[in-house]
Amino acid sequence: MNPVDTKQLPCQCLRTKNPYGTAPSDAESWLPGVHASSSYWCLRTMSPAGPDENYVHLARCVPGRKCYEGSEE
Q: Domain extents for the chain?
A: 1-65
Residue 19 has pLDDT above 80, yes or no: no
Mean pLDDT rounded to a whole number for the chain = 77
Identify whether the C-beta of residue 19 lies closer than 8 Å to the C-beta of residue 31.
Answer: no
pTM: 0.68
Residue 71 has pLDDT above 50, yes or no: yes
